[in-house]
């Protein structure tokens, strides 16, 4: 039986809050239960995938984002996260191909994530300039590695 929208939104928020506080087992438990209730929706698999991104298990995250795309093939957000995970896992060509599918989508967060990752020095060689209308700008300074760029420092 589907739950009310406000209850569902609250549970999703609790799952993401658990991720923020690095309570990965709790977040995973919640998103797994939501996947049982909503197997044909993308959000539980996106939540599970983000738990794996937080744990730096990019291969596992890619599998979960791919599952989200299986159930909702037109999910630009799932596609963007899949491409991002592929890049973080060191599969730059594959990640760039996946991310170019998202460029120009109606989902602003997916579009901006895709554009940002396609500009990484590791992805630039694999970007087809015709996919987005213009190639990302070349980097002139010594580039940071992808992991260095994505490292989030704790707040005091």
pLDDT value of position 44: 94
DSSP helix/strand/coil, 50: helix
With contact defined as beta carbons under 8 Å apart, do 125 and 138 qualify? no
Give dist(CA 41, CA 47) in Å, integer.
11
| CA atoms lying within 13 Å on the CB side of residue 15 | 25
Contacts of 128 by beta carbon, 8 Å cutoff, 6+ apart: 100
pLDDT of residue 61: 96
Q: What is the CATH number of domain 5-150?
A: 1.25.40.10
Q: Answer left, alpha or beta for residue 126, where phi above 0 means left and psi between -120 and 50 means alpha.
A: alpha
User: What is the pTM for the complete model shown?
Assistant: 0.77
Residue 126, pLDDT score? 87
Distance CA 107, CA 81 (A): 13
CA–CA dist 120, 116 (Å, integer) = 7
Question: Mean pLDDT, consecutive 10-residue segments, the chain of 156 residues?
Answer: 76 90 94 93 94 95 96 95 95 94 91 92 75 44 47 43
Ranges of each domain in the chain: 5-150
Quick check: 72 and 41 in contact, CB under 8 A? Answer: yes
């Amino acid at each position: 039986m589907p739950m009310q929208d406000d209850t569902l939104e609250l549970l999703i928020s609790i799952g993401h809050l658990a991720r923020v506080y690095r309570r990965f087992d709790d977040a995973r438990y919640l998103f797994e239960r939501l996947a049982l209730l909503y197997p044909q929706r993308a959000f539980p698999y996106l939540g599970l995938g983000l738990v794996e991104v937080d744990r730096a298990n990019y291969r596992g995250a890619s599998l979960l984002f791919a599952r989200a795309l299986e159930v909702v093939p037109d999910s630009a957000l799932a596609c963007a996260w899949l491409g991002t995970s592929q890049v973080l896992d060191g599969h730059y060509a594959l990640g760039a191909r996946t991310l170019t599918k998202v460029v120009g989508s109606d989902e602003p967060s997916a579009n901006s994530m895709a554009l940002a990752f396609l500009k990484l020095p590791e992805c630039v060689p694999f970007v087809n300039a015709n996919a987005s209308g213009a190639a990302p700008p070349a980097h002139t300074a010594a580039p940071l590695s992808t992991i260095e760029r994505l490292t989030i420092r704790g707040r005091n």
